[in-house]
Amino acid sequence: MAAAKKSFVMEHLRKAHMIELLAKGKRLDGRALLDYRPIDIKCNVIQKANGSAQVSLGNTQVIAGVKIEVGPPFPDTPDKGLLVVNAEILPLASPYAEPGPPDEEAIELSRVVDRGVRESGMIDLSKLVLTPGQKVRAVFVDVSVLNVDGNLIDATSYAVVSALMTTKMPELEVSENLQIKEKPNTIPLPVSNIPVSVTFARIGESLIIDPDSEEESVMDARITLTTVDDGHLCAGQKGLAGGLTYEQIMFAAETAKIKGQEIREIIKKVVGSIG
Amino acid sequence: MPEVKRKYVIPGELITEGNYRIITNVIKRGNKFYSTRIGLAEYGQEGVRVIPLTGPYIPKVDDLVIGKIVDYSAFAWEVDINSCFLAYLPARNVYGKSFSPRQEPLVKKFGIGDLIAAVVTAFDRTRDPILSVSSPGLGKITKGEVVKISPTKVPRLIGKKGSMIKTIESGTGCKLTIGQNGIIVLTGQPEGVIKAVKAIRLVEEEAHLADLTQKIQAMLGVKEGDG
Amino acid sequence: MGKLINDGIRVDGRRADELRPYRLEVGVLKNADGSAYIELGKNKIIVAVYGPKEVHPKHLSLPDRCIIRCRYHMSPFSTDVRKTPAPSRREIEISKVIREALEPAILVGEYPRTAIDIFLEVLQSDGGSRCAGITAASLALADAGISMYDLVAACAAGKVDGTIVLDLSDVEDKEGEADMPVAVMPNLGVITLLQLDGILTHEEFKRGLDLALEGCRRLHEAQRKALMERYFKTAPNQEVE
C-alpha cells in the first residue's frame, strides 16, 4: 500500500544497519556475502508450452515458457534456427511496475539472458534447420516475471535454461518435395551445455551475490558473469552508474565459476528428475 | 459484561439478523447484516461490527504513525505512511508559524529515507493527511529495528489497555513504538529484539484467535500481571 | 449424433452439469496487496491487486470514489500457438468486462481519490478464462482487504451438440453452438457479467442462465473455502467462543 512513488526508497535506518552488517560480512536477511537465497525450480508447469519452468529465488518469482514454431530463418543466418528470448516484468509483479511495452530494464534483462544462452552454444541452432534458407525451427522463450525481489537476471536465466532443457518438440520429417510432416513422437532440443549466470552487486566496498530488492535499491554497481560447463566465461554485463576495480572484477570472475558450478548441479538435478 | 457473539466472516456473508446498531465494516439489507471484509464479526448489545484481518491503513486524526520521508518541496515534506494517501508534514508544523522557505532548506531537518514518528492532525475524505511532530517523543527516529505488520492487526498488538505491548516489553526488555499504520520500531538489546520480532509475528499470524496474550506470556516467560 | 457429446458424456468425460476440476488459492504473491490463483480445467491464472493507492496522473482521480483499473493479459506461452506479448483487442475488451463485473461488488465510496489496480495474468488458457479470472480476482480484492458488498463468482454455460452444458472447455467453446459467461454476486443475486456468443432459444437461454448460476454457486463455496484456509487456518472451528 506504499503511496505511489516511482521507485523504492530504503529507510536510512535500515540502510545504515545494512552497511554496518556488510562490514562484518553479513546481510540483513542473515546471509553471508556470497550466499544465494533458497532456489526452487519446477519444470513442466505449463502443459501448453513445449517446455516451461517456474523459478523462485527467495521472493523473486519468474515463469518461463518455450514455444517452438516453424518459419523462415533470418536472412543473414540461413543455416541456423531462431532463438528469441523475451522477458516481461508484469505489472502484477511489483508496486513500481507499470503496464505497457517493456522498458529499458526489461529489455536489458531479456538481452543479458539471451546472450548467456546464445554465446554458450547451449543450443546447436544449426541442427534446427529443416530446409536450408527456407524453413527452420524458431525457439521462442518468453519469461513472465511474477514477483520482483531483486536479481531478476539470475532467476530469469535459470528459468530459461531449465525450460529449454526440458523442452519437447514434435519430430519433423522433410519429404523429397520439401514438405514438412509432423511425426507422432517428440524429441528434445539439441542441448549441449548449461550456461549459468551469477550476479554480483557492489555496495560501498562490499561485493555480494544475488542482491534482493532492498540491496538493489542501494547498490552502486552490478555485474553479471555467465559461465559454461568447463568453467569458461561466455557472457557478461556490468550495470548501473558505479564502477568496479580490476580486483573486484577478477574476484567476481573466479566466484562466478565456483557458484556457477553449484547452481549447474541444482539445475541438472531438477532437470534429471524429469527425465 | 454484555454477551458478544463472534463469527469468522468473508465479504457478503450474513452475520446476523435483528435490530442492531452498525459499528463498522457491516452493511444492512432489510433486517439482515452482512460483512464487507474478511475478519471477525462481533454482535451484541453495543452493535455489530467486523474486525478486519487485512486491509489498508486509513488515517484518523490523532493517530500516531511512523512514516518515511519520500520527497520534499520548499514548504512541506511528503511522507509515506503505508496508506493509500500520501501524508504531508508542512514546514510550519516543524519550524513554527513564521516559517519562510528562505530560512533553510527542508532537507537539513529530514532527508529522503528518514523515518519519523508523527501524529495525524488533519484528514478527511477531501484532502490528504497532515502530520505534526511537535509533541514530545515525535520526530526523527535515529535508532531501532523496523518491523511491518498489517495495519488491521495493530489493535491486537497493542492489546486491551496496552496489555500486549506491556507483555512484550517486559518479556524482552525492548521498547516498542507502534504506529497505527502498521510500522513498528523496536529498540533494545539484539537478543531482546529478536525475541520481540518473533512475538510480533505470532500476534500477526494468530490475530484472529482468542487467548493470544496468554500465549505470548507463555512464549516470553512473563507471568500474568507483570509489566 | 454429436461429436462433442456421446451418451450424455462430454469429450473430457464430464456430464452436462459438471464443472472441470478446480483449485483456488489466496495470497500467492508477496509484493501485491492482495492476490489469488485459480486452476480450472487447463486454465492457470494468477491475479494481483494493488491498492487502494494514489492515482497517477492525478487528474484521473475522482473526488468521491476510487477508480478501478483492470488488465487481463495472456502470457505468450499460454496458448497453443505463441501469442505476441502486446495486448490484443480481445484482451482489452475482456479487461473491460472483467472490471465491470467486479466493480459493482466494491464499496468505491470508501476510498475517494484513489485507484485500485487489478492485474490478471493467464499463464495457461483454456475455455472460460474470463470467468475463472473474475472468480480469482474477487478473492484477490478480498485478500487486499477492500470493502466489498459480496464476492463475485463467475462461470459459463452454453450449448454443445444441442445440449445445454456448464463450464465450456476450449474445444466446446470453439466448436459448440453457444457460450454464455455469467458472473454473479451470490449473496445478493445480482448478475454483473453476461455475454452471449451464439444462438439460444428463450427456453435454452433460461436453462443456460440457471445452470451458469448453479456453477457460480459451487465456485462461491470454493472461494469461501480458499479464504477460510488462508485466514482462519489455525482456528479450531468456525464459531468462536
Return the HEC string of B32-68.
EEEECCCEEEEEECCEEEEEECCCCECCCCCCEEEEE
Question: Percentage of chain A surpassing pLDDT 70?
Answer: 97
**Residue written as grid cell 439489507:** B29
Among candidates A2, A52, A90 on the partner chain, residue whose Cβ is nearest the Cβ of C77: A52
Least confident of A127-136, B88-97, B193-202, C64-73: B88-97
Residue C21's CB is within 10 A of a number of other CB atoms, namely 11
CB B67 within 8 A of CB B181: yes
CA distances in angstroms from A214 to A5, A95, A243, listed in the order given: 15, 14, 20
Helices A152-165 and A104-120: crossing angle in degrees, nearest 10, is 40
Mean pLDDT of the residues in chain B: 90
Preferred mutation among A5, A6, A10, A13 to probe B, highest tally of B CBs within 10 A: A13
Domains of chain A: 29-274 (3.30.230.70)
Q: How confident is the model at residue A116 (pLDDT cuts 50, 70, 90)?
A: very high
Task: Please give the pLDDT value at position A91.
Answer: 95
Per-residue DSSP letter, B190: H
Q: Does the structure show a pLDDT above 90 at A33?
A: yes
User: Is the CB of A13 less than 8 angstroms away from the CB of B146?
Assistant: yes
The domain ranges of chain B are: 4-52, 64-140, 145-220
Using the Cβ of B105 and the Cβ atoms of chain C, whether some distance falls under 8 Å is answered with: no
Which residues 6+ apart lie within 8 Å of A90 measured at CB?
A97, A144, A145, A146, C73, C119, C121
Per-residue pLDDT of chain C (241 residues; tens, 9 = 90+): 468 999 899 999 999 999 999 999 999 999 999 999 999 999 999 999 999 998 988 889 999 999 999 999 999 999 999 999 999 999 999 999 999 999 999 999 999 999 999 999 999 999 999 999 999 999 999 999 999 999 999 999 999 999 999 999 999 999 999 999 999 999 999 999 999 999 999 999 999 999 999 999 999 999 999 999 999 976 544 444 3
* Domain spanning B4-52, CATH architecture: Beta Barrel (2.40)
| Cell numbers that stand for A56 in this block | 523462485
Task: Please give the pLDDT value at position C238.
Answer: 45
Q: Does the structure show a pLDDT above 70 at B57?
A: yes
Class of domain B64-140: mainly beta
Q: Which residue did the predictor score with more confidence, B96 or C44?
A: C44
CA distances in angstroms from A14 to A17, A20, A30, A35, A214, listed in the order given: 5, 10, 14, 20, 9
Q: Does the structure show a pLDDT above 60 at A4?
A: no
**Residue written as grid cell 486454465:** C43
Q: Does the structure show a pLDDT above 60 at B226?
A: no
Least confident of A175-179, B153-157, C92-96, C156-160: A175-179
Nearest CA in chain C to B59: C111
Please compute, for residue B94, the number of CA atoms within 13 A of its CA located in the half-sphere on the CB side: 25
Q: Does domain C14-231 have CATH number 3.30.230.70?
A: yes
**Residue written as grid cell 474486525:** B51
Question: Percentage of chain B surpassing pLDDT 70?
Answer: 97
Task: Please give the pLDDT value at position C48.
Answer: 98
Nearest CA to CA, how far is B147 from chain A (Å)? Answer: 11
**Alpha-carbon span C165 to C148, nearest angstrom:** 31
Class of domain B145-220: alpha beta
Using the Cβ of C50 and the Cβ atoms of chain A, whether some distance falls under 8 Å is answered with: yes
**Alpha-carbon span A253 to A257, nearest angstrom:** 7
Among candidates C31, C73, C124 on the partner chain, residue whose Cβ is nearest the Cβ of A95: C31
Task: Please give the pLDDT value at position A174.
Answer: 87
Stretch B179-205: mean pLDDT: 93
Q: Does the structure show a pLDDT above 80 at A3?
A: no
Task: Please give the pLDDT value at position B227.
Answer: 43
What ipTM was reported for this prediction?
A: 0.91
Using the Cβ of C62 and the Cβ atoms of chain B, whether some distance falls under 8 Å is answered with: no
Task: Please give the pLDDT value at position C53.
Answer: 92
The domain ranges of chain C are: 14-231
